């Protein structure tokens, strides 16, 4: 028998001990202390606490005197006012290394029928649910499911159908080291990082909002060439006083959760960039305000304090956004596989494709269909649940810095 075999007993050489009941301090230590008297090896150990109810599972190597061990553990557990079950030959549930994935399910509310459908499709793929964790309960419910035995691409396809049918968001990611490392997040700006479109806000000051909004919508749906549409819209701004840029900036509303996401992930060493088909006169200030490391956008030409109706230099279009992502990644020393792109329009498609993880955020259908995953809730910080970061961890980190988060409603 190899050292590996001896460290990981076969199913027939193990005993699963499951303790359940009302949680209280010292349960785990008391059970382990009792087991230590029987010279068994701990093969696996998992514990779940839900609404004050504890489920503790301890997988140990088969004891020499099983009857004596069961008697001792039963006495300990019953003395704590809890129950215990024993199951011989249960094996080690961590041995399935083939095709491992994280499935994140987000809903508000998240109905039992939706979770049943998700679990059913996982089973249809031949997948096994190894573990389930709640990532958040407010303002949306987020659940992470650890799956083994099912190819992530196949899972993604099946679960996308269920997500659409039940009005929830589902993200599937391979379980690998990238999820635990520092990453670069590249975001679109208009209708992604902020609410609304800056060019439409400027156009309102120029008296041309309706015309600009129609062209913008056609471009975002992919019906118009972006550069041509941009130049056509900017021409409608000719003669506008440059002070309108200050007024528009002051009126910008950052999407809920954006500041929380940037603040939290910067603590973990993440880098951020914004790439916009909008204007540097706005995005540079926005980057400085939010603590974003890199920014790229078009620059409006201003002469004698007036917009000329032209842009200076090359236009940041669909290809330009992808190029910016690659350049930022190289500059910051982040592998492209460790990049995350977030966008909503057709001009974000190349950027989403270039990233290791492309996220369509409240996006047009053409973008949702092409992206790796899609989020359709009005909270940008839900993206952190896809990275394995829970709401409780976010709140605790903020509290340590003196930032108090309102308590969620009871329930």
Active site residues: 188, 190
The dihedral through the CA atoms of 251, 282, 262, 153 has a sign that is positive
From CA 329, how far away is CA 214, in angstroms rounded?
34
Which one, of 308, 178, 198, lies nearest residue 248 by Cα? Answer: 198
Q: Is 375 helix (H, G, I), strand (E, B) or coil?
A: strand
CB atoms within 10 A of CB 308: 17
The number of residues making up the chain comes to: 411
**Cα distance between residue 228 and residue 222, in whole Å:** 12
The token pair that represents 134 in the structure block = 């709640």
> 224 vs 133, 218, 232, 312, 362, CA distance in Å?
44, 6, 11, 21, 20
- Please give the structure tokens belonging to residue 280: 């540097």
282-295 b/e (C-beta count within 10 Å ≥ 16 → b): bbbebbeebebbbb
Strand order in the sheet with 53-61: 42-50, 53-61, 14-22, 83-88
Torsion sign over Cα 208, 211, 214, 215: negative
* Chain centre distance of CA 333: 22
Residue 61 near residue 89 (C-beta atoms within 8 A): no
């Amino acid at each position: 028998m190899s050292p590996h075999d001896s460290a990981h007993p076969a199913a027939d050489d193990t005993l699963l001990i499951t303790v359940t009941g009302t949680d209280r301090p010292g349960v785990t230590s008391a059970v382990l202390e009792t087991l230590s008297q029987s010279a068994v090896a701990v093969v696996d150990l998992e514990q779940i606490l839900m609404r004050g109810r504890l489920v503790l599972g301890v997988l140990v190597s088969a004891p020499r005197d099983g009857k004596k061990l069961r008697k001792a553990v039963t006495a300990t557990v019953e003395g704590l006012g809890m129950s215990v079950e024993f199951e011989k030959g249960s094996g080690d549930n961590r041995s399935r290394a083939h095709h491992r994935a994280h499935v994140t399910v987000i809903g508000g509310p998240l109905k039992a029928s939706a979770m049943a459908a998700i679990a059913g499709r996982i089973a249809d793929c031949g997948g096994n649910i190894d573990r389930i964790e709640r990532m958040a309960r407010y303002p949306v419910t987020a659940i992470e499911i650890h799956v083994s035995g099912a190819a992530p691409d196949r899972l993604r396809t099946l679960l996308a159908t269920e997500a659409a049918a039940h009005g929830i968001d589902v993200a599937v990611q391979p379980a690998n080291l990238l999820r635990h490392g520092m990453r670069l997040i590249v975001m679109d700006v208009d209708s992604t990082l902020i609410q609304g479109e800056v060019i439409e806000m400027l156009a309102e000051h120029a008296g041309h909002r309706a015309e600009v909004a129609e062209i913008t919508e056609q471009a975002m749906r992919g019906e118009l060439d972006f550069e041509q549409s941009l130049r056509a819209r900017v021409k409608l701004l000719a003669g506008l006083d440059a002070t309108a840029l200050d007024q528009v900036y002051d009126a910008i509303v950052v999407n809920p959760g954006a500041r929380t996401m940037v603040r939290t992930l910067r603590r973990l060493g993440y880098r951020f960039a914004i790439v916009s088909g909008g204007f540097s006169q706005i995005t540079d200030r926005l980057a400085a305000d939010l603590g974003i490391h890199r920014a790229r956008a078009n620059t409006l030409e201003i002469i004698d304090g007036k917009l000329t109706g032209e842009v200076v230099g090359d236009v940041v279009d669909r290809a330009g956004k992808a190029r910016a992502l690659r350049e930022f990644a190289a500059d910051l020393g982040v592998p492209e596989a460790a990049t995350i792109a977030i966008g909503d329009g057709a001009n974000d498609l190349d950027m989403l494709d270039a990233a290791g993880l492309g996220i369509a955020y409240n996006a047009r259908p053409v973008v949702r269909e092409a992206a790796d995953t899609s989020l359709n809730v009005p909270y940008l910080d839900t993206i952190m649940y896809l990275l394995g970061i829970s709401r409780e961890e976010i709140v605790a980190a903020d509290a340590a810095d003196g930032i108090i988060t309102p308590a969620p409603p009871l329930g």
